[in-house]
Structure formats: C-alpha cells, structure tokens
Structure 1
C-alpha cells in the first residue's frame, strides 16, 4: 500500500489517524504548488486531482480522507476510532459530521474564497469569505456550549475521528489567521487535550 498525500487538512487527518493506530505506510508527496496534482500520472490515480489517496497492493484506489480512515479502521482494529458499539459508532459519526459541516466547512469556505492559492479552482466570492470568517467564532461558541457537560472528547469519553476532524479544523484556523475565542474555555481545554497527543505531530 501507499498513501498519496501532502499539505492540507485532509492529508493531516489521515496522518493523525495512522499515528493513533500505529500504522506506517510508504508516502508519495503530491506538491500542489508545483501542479503535481494536475499531472496525467496523478489524474490516472484520482481523476479529481485531490489528496489523500490510498492505493492498495492490488491497485484498488480509495479517495476521501474519512473513507481512507474507515478502511484503516477495518484492517487495524485497535484502537477503535469510529466507536466500539452501535451507540458509540452513531455518536462518533454524528460528531464527525458536525465537526465537518458546522466548523470545518465554514473555515474551509474562508480559505477557498479568499486565498490566491485556490483562485484557479473556483470562482471566488470575497464577500462570502468575510461573511464566513465572521461566523467562525460563533461556530466555536456553539461547540463550547456542547462541551459544557465536561466530557473529555467530542463523542464522549473516548478519543475518536471526530476529535481529529475538529482538531485539524483548529489548525486550519491558525493557518488562515482565525482565532478560537479565548472565552470558549471548554473548547480550549478540549483542544489542549487533543493537541497533547503525539499523533498531532504527524
């Protein structure tokens, strides 16, 4: 197997997941700045020109970071990062989706519609980016309220992929100059907890 990856939140998610599982794979770095994602050789692997991509030994290709993580969960069972029973799996799925749709999506829209790097990928709307940027503190405030029950991780007592997604979102905020409000004490405590894990150095 090998993992095509590079800079960006989705590759970072997979690397953290692998580190939590103790998985080591050969990695092929794809440099977007050099346009390597547009090269015919890479487009033959993923026609969307996106990373990460997991290529199995038999040539099977799996794209999308969560799909890759699900494959790794099935092939390396411990620790279980998608939950261990029906209730915990549903809660992890719920919180991972919430982290993606409510916070990561908002932060991502700021980047997509304001940074010159993405200008060739889509028609940018700077006003939309500023509207989304203004909404970011509110999104973290929502999560702060949700964490006010004192649970250590998003989906409960156990670290999961939901924490990886939200933790990477916090990293992306830093990259694009968006601060998590200091008043969001519950989020700050949660973030300190997850960032202290060695996997976040992946």
Structure 2
C-alpha cells in the first residue's frame, strides 16, 4: 500500500489523517500545501472538489477526501479492525465520538479562528461567544461519555475517535479551557503522549505557532 496525503501539517484535520497513518505504521508521502504555490494549489483544487484537506491519493491516482473517510481507507488497506473496530457496536461508538469531535469541537474551533483572523470579515463577538458555548457543551458531553472509565475515546483501544480528538482537542482547549473536567483532561494527556500524535506534531513544528490563541494554561 502506498499513498500520498495532501495536507498542511499544522491543520487539525490534516493531523488527524497523519496521526492515523503513523498509528498504522503505513509509509506515505506527505504533500504539504502551500498557498504561495499557485501551480500546487491548482493541482490540489483538481483533487479536492470542495477545497478541503486532507486528500489521499492512492498508487493508481484515485482520490479519497473527508478526514474520517481517509482514515477508514487507511485502516481497511492496512488490514482492517484497528482504527475502526470489527465489532459493530464498538465501530458505532468510534464513529459517534469521531463525529462529535469533528462537528462540535472542530467546527466551532475553526469558526472562532476564522473570526479572530478576520477571514470572515469583521470579527463577530456574538458569533464567537456562541461557538465558545458550543465548545463548552462538547467538553461537557465528552466528560460525561468518559465516565464509564474507558481509556480511549471509544473504549480500550486507540481508534479513529482518538485520531480526531488528539489534534482538535489540543487546539480547541486554547480557545475554551477544559476547566474542571478531570476525565477529559486525563484522556487528553494520554492523547498527547501517543507516539503517533507526537510524530504529527513534529511535522507541524517547523511552521511555528499558527493558532491565534495562547497555549492552554488550565
């Protein structure tokens, strides 16, 4: 199995895909997106119909996009059953946590960042407050979901859910702190110590700190 991942190493959804690849131990080519390179971005536009990353291109030139589907593709081609559990109930829980993290952590996080950077026009404080409240609700939901004593996001094994949560919770907590949520805090500590995520962070390190918020202090 060989493939290329088109992404920016600092992007949360890109790190989700690269964490999965490192977790599976599958070699891949990293194609770093660079908006200053018009030719490269034009090629990316042909590969990604909605202009979103990551995009996976396999050895035959076929493309897979949307981060969760990219991770499922990698898991299946690596033998299956590792990042998407074989058990149907465990697989459903994995996909649920993945969708909650992508939608209610990654979604408001990105909107707040775009607002702070002025990419959506003049920053809208009301919209940012609403997104901060949505992030807090996500933290509450995850804290409650973790109350059964599970080690990882969806159970006792590292899955797609953790690939999503490692980068997105790391960046989002800089906008809305975890606060008094000990189970969420402990899960995040395990995520940040995972070697696969450490490798994804190492890929991002040369690009500095692109997050328009200070490092988490809670």
Same fold (TM over 0.5): yes
Q: Is the 8 A contact 1:114 1:126 kept in 2?
A: no
The count of residues paired between Structure 1 and Structure 2 equals: 196
Provide closer, same or farther for how the CA distance between residues 164 and 41 of structure 1 changes in structure 2, counting only shifts above 3 A.
Answer: closer
After TM superposition, give the deviation of residue 109 of structure 1 in Å: 2.4
Greater relative contact order: 1 or 2 (C-alpha under 8 angstroms, separation 6 or more)? 2
2:6 paired residue among 4, 8, 20: 4
- Listed as ranges, the gaps of 5+ residues in structure 2 are 201-218
Distance 1:193 1:37 in 2: 40
- How many Å apart are 1:179 and its aligned residue? 4.1
Instruction: Extract structure 1 runs of 4+ deviating beyond 6 A.
Output: none
Q: Is residue 26 of structure 2 the alignment partner of residue 23 of structure 1? A: yes
Provide the C-alpha distance between the structure 2 equivalents of 1:49 and 1:36, rounded to a whole number of angstroms.
Answer: 14
Instruction: Pick the aligned partner of 1:188 from 151, 174, 185.
Output: 185
Change (3 A) 1:157 1:78: same
1:84 aligns with 2:86: yes
Alignment of 1:88-127 (within 5 A): 88-116=90-118, 118-119=119-120, 125-127=124-126
Aligned to 1:44: 46
Query: 1:12-53 CA deviation, whole Å, 9 max, x = no partner?
Result: 000100010001211111024x26598333222223222211
Question: Which stretch of the first structure deviates more once superposed, 6-15 or 146-155?
Answer: 146-155
Distance in 2 between the 1:112 and 1:127 partners? Answer: 14
Give the superposed CA RMSD.
2.3
